[in-house]
Amino acid sequence: MDLELRPISPDDGPVLHRLVSHPDVWPWLAPRGEDAPAAPAQCAAWARRDAAHWELHGFGKWLVFEDGRPVARGGLGVTFLDGRPEVEMGWAVAREHWGRGIATRIALAALDEAQRIGLRGVVAFARTENAASLRVMEKAGLRRERELTHAGHPHILFRHGERA
Protein backbone atom coordinates (compact mmCIF):
# COMPACT_ATOMS: atom_id res chain seq x y z
CA MET A 1 0.00 0.00 0.00
CA ASP A 2 1.19 3.47 -0.81
CA LEU A 3 1.38 6.01 1.96
CA GLU A 4 -0.02 9.51 1.58
CA LEU A 5 2.07 12.21 3.24
CA ARG A 6 0.74 15.66 4.00
CA PRO A 7 2.22 18.49 6.06
CA ILE A 8 0.86 18.71 9.58
CA SER A 9 -1.50 21.64 10.03
CA PRO A 10 -2.21 23.64 13.21
CA ASP A 11 -5.56 21.84 13.58
CA ASP A 12 -4.12 18.30 13.60
CA GLY A 13 -3.76 18.02 17.40
CA PRO A 14 -6.65 15.55 17.81
CA VAL A 15 -5.24 13.29 15.08
CA LEU A 16 -1.77 13.39 16.64
CA HIS A 17 -3.29 12.56 20.01
CA ARG A 18 -4.99 9.46 18.59
CA LEU A 19 -1.70 8.38 17.00
CA VAL A 20 0.70 8.85 19.93
CA SER A 21 -1.31 8.59 23.14
CA HIS A 22 -1.26 4.77 23.27
CA PRO A 23 0.74 3.60 26.32
CA ASP A 24 3.10 1.63 24.05
CA VAL A 25 3.84 4.67 21.83
CA TRP A 26 4.00 7.70 24.12
CA PRO A 27 6.87 6.50 26.37
CA TRP A 28 9.24 6.55 23.35
CA LEU A 29 8.39 10.22 22.74
CA ALA A 30 8.00 11.61 26.26
CA PRO A 31 10.80 13.40 28.10
CA ARG A 32 12.26 11.66 31.16
CA GLY A 33 10.00 11.87 34.17
CA GLU A 34 6.85 12.46 32.14
CA ASP A 35 4.87 9.35 32.97
CA ALA A 36 1.38 10.62 32.21
CA PRO A 37 -0.07 9.82 28.79
CA ALA A 38 0.05 12.47 26.10
CA ALA A 39 -2.59 15.11 26.81
CA PRO A 40 -4.78 16.56 24.04
CA ALA A 41 -3.39 20.04 24.76
CA GLN A 42 0.17 18.72 24.39
CA CYS A 43 -0.65 17.25 20.99
CA ALA A 44 -2.42 20.45 19.91
CA ALA A 45 0.73 22.43 20.76
CA TRP A 46 2.82 19.85 18.90
CA ALA A 47 0.65 20.29 15.78
CA ARG A 48 1.02 24.07 15.96
CA ARG A 49 4.83 23.75 16.28
CA ASP A 50 4.97 21.30 13.37
CA ALA A 51 2.89 23.62 11.18
CA ALA A 52 5.06 26.61 12.12
CA HIS A 53 8.16 24.58 11.22
CA TRP A 54 6.76 24.09 7.70
CA GLU A 55 6.17 27.86 7.40
CA LEU A 56 9.68 28.69 8.59
CA HIS A 57 11.73 26.02 6.82
CA GLY A 58 9.63 24.79 3.90
CA PHE A 59 9.82 21.19 5.16
CA GLY A 60 8.76 19.36 8.27
CA LYS A 61 6.70 16.55 9.72
CA TRP A 62 3.88 14.88 7.85
CA LEU A 63 0.74 13.13 8.88
CA VAL A 64 0.94 9.76 7.21
CA PHE A 65 -2.16 8.10 5.81
CA GLU A 66 -2.83 4.65 4.44
CA ASP A 67 -6.11 4.10 2.62
CA GLY A 68 -7.26 7.49 3.89
CA ARG A 69 -6.68 6.63 7.56
CA PRO A 70 -3.98 8.32 9.67
CA VAL A 71 -1.34 5.78 10.70
CA ALA A 72 1.71 7.83 11.71
CA ARG A 73 3.56 11.13 12.04
CA GLY A 74 6.99 11.44 10.47
CA GLY A 75 9.36 13.45 8.36
CA LEU A 76 12.07 16.04 8.84
CA GLY A 77 12.70 18.71 11.46
CA VAL A 78 15.44 21.04 12.58
CA THR A 79 16.98 20.07 15.90
CA PHE A 80 20.12 21.07 17.76
CA LEU A 81 22.92 18.66 18.65
CA ASP A 82 25.96 19.90 20.50
CA GLY A 83 24.70 23.45 19.95
CA ARG A 84 24.62 23.05 16.15
CA PRO A 85 21.55 22.81 13.93
CA GLU A 86 20.93 19.47 12.27
CA VAL A 87 18.01 18.10 10.30
CA GLU A 88 16.51 15.11 12.05
CA MET A 89 14.22 12.55 10.53
CA GLY A 90 11.77 10.75 12.75
CA TRP A 91 8.54 8.81 12.94
CA ALA A 92 5.86 7.75 15.38
CA VAL A 93 3.59 4.97 14.17
CA ALA A 94 0.21 4.24 15.78
CA ARG A 95 0.43 1.07 17.86
CA GLU A 96 -2.05 -0.91 15.75
CA HIS A 97 0.19 -0.40 12.71
CA TRP A 98 3.50 -1.53 14.21
CA GLY A 99 5.41 -4.28 12.41
CA ARG A 100 4.17 -3.42 8.92
CA GLY A 101 7.17 -1.49 7.60
CA ILE A 102 5.51 1.92 7.87
CA ALA A 103 8.37 3.49 9.84
CA THR A 104 10.91 2.30 7.26
CA ARG A 105 8.79 3.71 4.43
CA ILE A 106 8.57 7.04 6.28
CA ALA A 107 12.36 7.05 6.80
CA LEU A 108 12.97 6.41 3.10
CA ALA A 109 10.47 9.13 2.14
CA ALA A 110 12.25 11.54 4.49
CA LEU A 111 15.59 10.73 2.86
CA ASP A 112 14.06 11.31 -0.57
CA GLU A 113 12.66 14.65 0.61
CA ALA A 114 16.02 15.64 2.10
CA GLN A 115 17.70 14.93 -1.24
CA ARG A 116 14.96 16.73 -3.17
CA ILE A 117 15.39 19.93 -1.13
CA GLY A 118 19.19 19.76 -1.28
CA LEU A 119 20.14 18.80 2.27
CA ARG A 120 23.68 17.44 2.63
CA GLY A 121 22.76 15.10 5.45
CA VAL A 122 20.26 14.14 8.10
CA VAL A 123 20.40 12.51 11.50
CA ALA A 124 18.07 10.21 13.39
CA PHE A 125 18.28 9.04 16.95
CA ALA A 126 16.37 6.72 19.23
CA ARG A 127 16.63 5.55 22.80
CA THR A 128 19.15 2.78 23.23
CA GLU A 129 16.44 0.24 24.12
CA ASN A 130 14.20 1.11 21.14
CA ALA A 131 15.39 -1.78 18.97
CA ALA A 132 12.62 -1.30 16.40
CA SER A 133 13.55 2.32 15.59
CA LEU A 134 17.27 1.54 15.62
CA ARG A 135 16.60 -1.23 13.07
CA VAL A 136 14.62 1.21 10.89
CA MET A 137 17.65 3.52 10.81
CA GLU A 138 19.87 0.65 9.71
CA LYS A 139 17.39 -0.50 7.04
CA ALA A 140 17.19 3.07 5.72
CA GLY A 141 20.97 3.10 5.24
CA LEU A 142 22.00 5.41 8.08
CA ARG A 143 25.28 4.75 9.86
CA ARG A 144 25.68 4.61 13.61
CA GLU A 145 27.68 7.57 14.84
CA ARG A 146 27.63 7.71 18.65
CA GLU A 147 25.64 7.67 21.87
CA LEU A 148 24.16 10.86 23.30
CA THR A 149 21.66 12.04 25.89
CA HIS A 150 18.43 13.55 24.59
CA ALA A 151 15.33 14.49 26.61
CA GLY A 152 17.01 12.95 29.64
CA HIS A 153 17.43 9.50 28.06
CA PRO A 154 20.40 7.73 26.46
CA HIS A 155 20.04 7.61 22.67
CA ILE A 156 22.03 6.34 19.71
CA LEU A 157 22.68 8.83 16.92
CA PHE A 158 22.70 7.72 13.29
CA ARG A 159 23.62 9.82 10.25
CA HIS A 160 23.02 9.80 6.51
CA GLY A 161 25.27 12.02 4.43
CA GLU A 162 27.42 14.83 5.76
CA ARG A 163 27.33 16.88 8.96
CA ALA A 164 25.32 20.07 8.74
On whether the pTM is more than 0.95, the answer is no
Enclosing domain of residue 150 = 3-161
Tell me the per-residue pLDDT of 34-89, one tens digit each, with 9 for 90 and over.
Answer: 666 778 998 999 999 999 999 999 999 999 999 999 999 999 999 998 889 999 99
Tell me the per-residue pLDDT of 129-163, one tens digit each, with 9 for 90 and over.
Answer: 999 999 999 999 999 999 999 878 899 999 999 87
pLDDT band at 29 (very low <50, low <70, confident <90, very high): confident
- pLDDT reading at 32 higher than 60: no
Query: What's the number of domains the chain is made of?
Result: 1
E-strand stretches of the chain: 3-7, 61-66, 69-81, 84-93, 121-127, 143-150, 153-161
Can you name the residues that pair with 91 across neighbouring β-strands? 74
Instruction: For residue 144, give the CATH number of its domain.
Output: 3.40.630.30
Q: Where are the alpha helices (DSSP H) in 2-86?
A: 13-20, 26-29, 40-57
pLDDT at 35 (0 to 100)? 65
User: Do residues 83 and 121 make contact, with C-beta atoms less than 8 angstroms apart?
Assistant: no
pLDDT at 23 (0 to 100)? 80
pLDDT at 30 (0 to 100)? 67
Count of other CB atoms within 10 angstroms of residue 24: 10
